[in-house]
Structure 1
């Protein structure tokens, strides 16, 4: 399955639910041609150019990480993932150890499962549920509409733009 692409001190860790079958088969995040993840990163200046899925390994060098909420070895559409495969505690360990500026869930489902509550797209107030205890209060939370082609009719661009604006400000403050 897909390895986590993470490093200490990242600006943002993107967390999906689980790789789709095509991503798992190709060995790269968001590899389905119908998925708009890479286009959205470029459109909102989260990355300096449009990366291809095969370039996902470049993300940590750009201050961005990739992981999934499901245990490793699990792939498919969310409805196909066994309920016992979700591992919010693994994400929590990543956040505690790596101390990113933000976690950005790439679907409402990923956020709901990780935070243990109903969510809406946009910047959240704080981590909650299994992720809330301990020293994570300074990690910003973004809940992004899924870039998957399957979710196209429910898609809203504004939360992605909000993340891009937050990241631009963070990068400017560090200059």
Structure 2
């Protein structure tokens, strides 16, 4: 059983601090020759506040990554730079922080897809893993895309679509997320 980060691991922002994090950006964790670059939809306000990807307590990215075997232990959001040690990176389709992904327009997602294509072409990981099927469908005009490996490439790199690890995604519990992430990891062998 994997536990989520305890509340003490992430600073508790005030409402005012969260509001001030709206539209902030956070740096990508990227480097050349990575096995997988995980691409979120966009940072949430907790991430905008902390400067760390998938930082909101209850987000299941870090536990799913560990449970799938990508990391030897559960990393905290403030340890995101350690992903590089494991051949992993993280970025977002849209750079600006919002309270919810549905605040993003289709045009913004498509523009983010163009930027992501350039970024992936530059770094050339083995696989781009987009975490969020609806955002992937919109950003890349693939309305019938399903979870798992895609026929098309982004920036010359194969794409795998994974479920969004947000606590708002009620379709997947942690075990289901970890199983989907594990399929990707096993495909890399």
Alignment TM class, shorter chain as reference: 0.7 to 0.9
TM-score by length of 1: 0.83
Q: 1:85 aligns with which of 108, 112, 116?
A: 108
CA distance in 2, matches of 1:83, 1:125: 22
Unaligned stretches of 5+ residues in structure 1: 170-175
Q: 1:42 aligns with which of 53, 56, 66?
A: 66
Counterpart position of 1:123: 149
In structure 2, the residue corresponding to 1:104 is in which secondary structure? strand
In structure 2, the residue corresponding to 1:31 is in which secondary structure? coil
In structure 1, the residue corresponding to 2:121 is in which secondary structure? helix
Residue 41 (structure 2) pairs with residue 17 (structure 1): yes
Deviation of 1:5 (Å): 0.9
Deviation of 1:104 (Å): 0.3
Structure 1 stretches of 4+ with a deviation exceeding 4 A read: none
Deviation of 1:140 (Å): 2.3
Q: In the comparison of the two structures, how many residue pairs are matched?
A: 159
Unaligned stretches of 5+ residues in structure 2: 1-24
Counterpart position of 1:67: 91
Mapped contact 2:30–2:90 kept (Cα < 8 A)? yes
CA distance in 1, matches of 2:41, 2:106: 12
CA distance in 1, matches of 2:169, 2:120: 27
Counterpart position of 2:184: 163
Mapped contact 1:123–1:142 kept (Cα < 8 A)? yes
1:88-107 Cα distance to aligned partner (Å, 9 max, x none): 11111111111110000111
Mapped contact 2:42–2:96 kept (Cα < 8 A)? no
In structure 2, the residue corresponding to 1:151 is in which secondary structure? coil
CA distance in 2, matches of 1:159, 1:124: 14
